[in-house]
DNA sequence: TTGTACGCGTTATCAG
DNA sequence: CTGATAACGCGTACAA
């Protein structure tokens, strides 16, 4: 347990025969240092395996060099992509990423704020549905903690954000089904607390309306973005008379569940039932048949959002909100409806 | 951008009309403070929304209150469970979790060490395969950074660890197939750099040997724990003449791939081919048919490992290594082989 | 039971 | 271009 004490800036200064401040200048790439001195200092740093003490830096600069990532237990692949993108941008920076999954953003805003304050974060990245939570953002502004929003769907302009166009994406997915000839299309909505659920429904309805198809309320079922909730919703849809010839699920987990539900009813996918997902998560390639789905560039979004956050932390002006493109991936879970229907 | 300056311990002291040291005592629950004073201080803290400055605390105590989690891009569900368990244990503690996915532990030990040092971690949790990396552990000991190991398979006793019995688990899975009547069983190994791959192979061979079955080398294929690698491996196995009647994949992602490969060959699962996975990840319930698999208590393991780490950080003696139980979950991907074979 | 002086490692300020 | 000195917010050692 003899924790070997780390070399400090003073040790380096002594070895390089300069003052501590000069070492500090070298460490922070400040100007006004001779090349000769610079190299001497650098050698001493290497010899002593010197690493600046982040706590001390943080103390004087009142920075923790910690950035939080707030999200709410969505699917594992979503979380991992989120983290990947955020970390990718952080590579080479001094900041570290602290993960902060919360049970429910609504669980008590002030508790979350207390969490953020006690964690001494410099800034936070807000993933849905936290990114749509007005109260949370208000509190963050009050305590002066910068944030960036990933996939917000409402209250735009309340902070830098990166998103995709959920309405357009859902519209595209629905059009794909319409073009295949489907007329009776079931929808499995996502978690109502995620505003994306509504946006996607709107897009779907727009596409159907444009094709002159009315979406009966009975064809709209609600899920929670989980496999199990999707399974229940799909069963209800398939019990209708007549059942839909296609189901548009608002994420891949629920779409996978729809396939399972179809199998329970003895229906073949895509022959008897077409299924469309959303997200292009791992699951979409693992199920059979592989899902037609919308690719949502989660990793890119997290990367860009983190980038915006770093800009803000450097005191640079906030850039404009960013919208990233989506993509309809047509795989094998969709086909024209059977002739007779 | 007017970052409101946070209240300090001095502000609280002034308001409560005591010295800063007394406030410090209250904050840290030290003895020798009157109840009356205590409550007065607590009120002041609340009024000022005081939170101790972690950087300052860390500076004097030479602690960062940061714990790292090192892992190497395994399946998303594994990562998420790992994080969940670790965070669960951290709930209510002052420590925060910093995620540190690395490309490859072997990529250069010293780079990883540099990463850990510059991140100023108090301790690290090592997930496989980092948990089996002798060089890394040696370096960690040298710089005096405590660590705990999750699922190590060799070099036991080199540091506190939590594991399951991979050999026994694989044995159990293989016995299940043997009991169903399978004699020609294919194996898809995991990433060779994960020692668990070998352990699981050993268990499999032991079970087969006990049943008097020899495992021909052609029946052993290697994958990388990913769906795609599993797909390639399964295709090779199914191209054998005769093909195996069962496939034992060393994780669920590869097992799911085996199901897909079977479908490509026009084989039904489990009628024509039984498939067993490993991990009980989300995927196992999402594919069709749901996978017979081994439940690996990843979340519990992470929880326990974090617990051990906290003990070490408190200076308490290291507890004994922990071994957690596994469980064979029989679902619908396994059945007796067809009579004719 | 409570308070005072000092130091943790770093950077900002301002002199040299 | 370089260095001395004073903070940053808190805990430790020692007094009172």
Residue B104 token pair: 């490859």
**H helix runs in chain A, sequence order:** 9-16, 20-27, 35-48, 54-61, 76-90, 109-118, 134-143, 166-180, 195-210, 227-238, 252-264, 283-286, 298-313
Q: CA gyration radius for chain A?
A: 26
Q: Which residue has the higher pLDDT, B1 or B70?
A: B70
B20-27 helix and B9-16 helix, angle to the nearest 10 degrees: 110
Contact A155, A140 (CB under 8 A): no
The span from the CA of A80 to the CA of A83, in Å, is 5
Average pLDDT over residues A120-137: 91
Residue B117 token pair: 């040092």
pLDDT tens digits, A271-318: 999 999 999 988 898 899 999 999 989 999 999 999 999 999 988 888
Q: What is residue B121's three-state secondary structure? A: coil
Q: Is the pTM of this model over 0.75?
A: yes
pLDDT tens digits, A62-106: 889 999 999 987 677 789 999 999 999 999 898 999 999 888 767
Asked if B286 has any chain A CB less than 8 Å from its own CB, the reply is yes
Please say if the pLDDT value at position B132 is more than 60. Answer: yes
- Cα B137 to chain center, whole Å? 17
pLDDT for the residue A1: 36
pLDDT tens digits, A10-55: 999 999 999 889 999 999 888 888 999 999 999 999 999 899 999 9
The span from the CA of B29 to the CA of B316, in Å, is 20
* DSSP strands (E only) in B61-211: 66-71, 96-101, 123-126, 147-150, 161-164, 185-189
The span from the CA of A190 to the CA of A167, in Å, is 14
How far: B26 CA to C3 C1' (Å)?
Answer: 15
CA atoms within 13 A on the CB side of A86: 30
The span from the CA of A195 to the CA of B192, in Å, is 44
Q: Which of B68, B159, B282, B314 to mutate to test the interface with A (most CBs of A within 10 A)?
A: B282
Asked if B50 has any chain A CB less than 8 Å from its own CB, the reply is no
The span from the CA of A42 to the CA of A27, in Å, is 9
| Domain coordinates in residue numbering, chain B | 61-164+298-326, 166-296
Average pLDDT over residues B33-60: 90
Asked if B256 has any chain A CB less than 8 Å from its own CB, the reply is yes
Q: What is residue A17's three-state secondary structure? A: coil
Contact B69, B97 (CB under 8 A): yes
CATH of A61-164+298-326, one of 2.60.40.2250, 3.40.605.10, 3.40.50.2300, 1.10.10.10: 3.40.50.2300
Asked if A315 has any chain B CB less than 8 Å from its own CB, the reply is yes
Asked if B46 has any chain A CB less than 8 Å from its own CB, the reply is no
Least trusted range by pLDDT, from A110-119, A259-268, B251-260: A110-119
- Which of chain B's residues 57-76 bind strand C, using a 7 Å CB cutoff? 59-60, 62
Q: Tell me what the pLDDT averaged over chain B comes to.
A: 91
Contact B178, B207 (CB under 8 A): yes
Q: Nearest-CA neighbor of A72 among A82, A84, A61?
A: A82
Residues of A in contact with B84 (CB under 8 A): 101
pLDDT for the residue B4: 58
pLDDT for the residue B2: 41
Of B79, B96, B114, the CB nearest to A119: B96
Least trusted range by pLDDT, from A199-208, A261-270, B170-179, B314-323: B314-323
Q: Nearest-CA neighbor of A258 among A228, A219, A285?
A: A228
- Which nucleotide across the nucleic acid strands is nearest to B33, CA versus C1'? C1
Q: For chain A, first and last CA: distance in Å?
A: 75
pLDDT for the residue A107: 67
Contact A261, A234 (CB under 8 A): yes
The span from the CA of A297 to the CA of A319, in Å, is 20
Least trusted range by pLDDT, from A31-35, A57-61, A143-147, A152-156: A152-156
B19 touches strand D (CB under 7 A): no
pLDDT tens digits, B186-213: 999 999 988 889 999 999 999 999 999 9
Element (H, E) at A66: strand A66-71
With left for phi above 0 and alpha for psi between -120 and 50, is residue A14 left, alpha or beta? alpha
Asked if A317 has any chain B CB less than 8 Å from its own CB, the reply is no
For B99, list phi and psi in degrees, rounded to 5: -90, 135
Please say if the pLDDT value at position A203 is more than 60. Answer: yes
- Which of chain A's residues 20-79 bind strand D, using a 7 Å CB cutoff? 20-22, 25, 31-34, 36-37, 56, 59-60, 62
Fold: same for B61-164+298-326 and B166-296: yes
Residues of A in contact with B119 (CB under 8 A): 54, 96
Residue A176 token pair: 């794909």
In angstroms, the separation between the Cα of residue A214 and the nearest Cα of chain B is 32
Q: Would you identify the CATH topology of the domain A166-296?
A: Rossmann fold (3.40.50)
Beta strand A161-164 with B246-249: parallel, antiparallel or unpaired? unpaired
For residue A2, name the pLDDT band (cuts at 50, 70, 90): very low
- Protein contacts on strand C: list nucleotides below 7 Å from a Cβ: 1-5, 7-13
pLDDT for the residue B193: 84
Residues of A in contact with B3 (CB under 8 A): 62, 144
Q: Which residues pair with B189 in a beta bridge?
A: B222
Q: Are A1 and B315 an interchain contact pair (Cβ–Cβ within 8 Å)?
A: yes
Please say if the pLDDT value at position B127 is more than 80. Answer: yes
A1 touches strand D (CB under 7 A): no
Strands of A185-189's sheet in order across:
A220-222, A185-189, A246-249, A274-276
Strands of A66-71's sheet in order across:
A322-324, A161-164, A147-150, A123-126, A66-71, A96-101, B96-101, B66-71, B123-126, B147-150, B161-164, B322-324
């Amino acid at each position: 347990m003899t924790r070997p004490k780390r070399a400090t800036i003073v040790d380096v200064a002594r070895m390089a025969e300069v003052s501590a401040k000069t070492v500090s200048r070298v460490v922070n790439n400040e100007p006004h240092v001779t090349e000769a001195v610079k190299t001497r200092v650098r050698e001493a740093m290497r010899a002593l395996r010197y690493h600046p003490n982040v706590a001390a830096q943080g103390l004087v600069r009142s920075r923790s060099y910690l950035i939080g990532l707030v999200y709410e237990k969505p699917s594992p692949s979503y979380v991992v992509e989120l983290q990947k993108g955020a970390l990718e941008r952080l590579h080479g920076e001094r900041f570290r990423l602290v993960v902060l999954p919360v049970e429910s953003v609504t669980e008590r805003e002030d508790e979350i704020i207390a969490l953020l304050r006690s964690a001494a974060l410099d800034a936070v990245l807000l993933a849905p549905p936290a990114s749509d939570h007005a109260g949370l953002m208000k509190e963050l502004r009050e305590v002066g903690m910068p944030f960036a929003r990933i996939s917000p769907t409402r209250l735009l302009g309340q902070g830098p954000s990166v998103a995709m166009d959920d309405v357009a994406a859902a519209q595209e997915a629905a059009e794909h089904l319409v073009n295949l000839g489907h007329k009776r299309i079931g929808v499995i909505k996502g978690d109502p607390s995620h505003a994306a659920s509504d946006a996607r429904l709107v897009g779907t309805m727009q596409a159907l309306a444009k094709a002159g198809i009315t979406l009966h309320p009975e064809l709209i079922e609600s899920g929670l973005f989980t496999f199990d909730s999707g399974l229940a919703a799909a069963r209800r849809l398939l019990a209708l008379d007549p059942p839909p010839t296609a189901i548009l699920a608002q994420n891949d987990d629920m779409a996978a569940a729809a396939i399972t539900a179809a199998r329970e009813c003895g229906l073949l996918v895509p022959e008897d039932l077409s299924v469309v997902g959303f997200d292009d998560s791992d699951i979409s390639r693992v199920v059979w048949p592989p899902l037609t789905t919308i690719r949502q560039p989660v990793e890119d979004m997290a990367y860009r959002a983190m980038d915006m956050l770093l800009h803000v932390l450097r005191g640079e002006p906030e850039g404009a909100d960013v919208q990233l493109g989506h993509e309809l991936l047509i795989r094998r879970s969709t086909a024209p409806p059977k002739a007779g229907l």
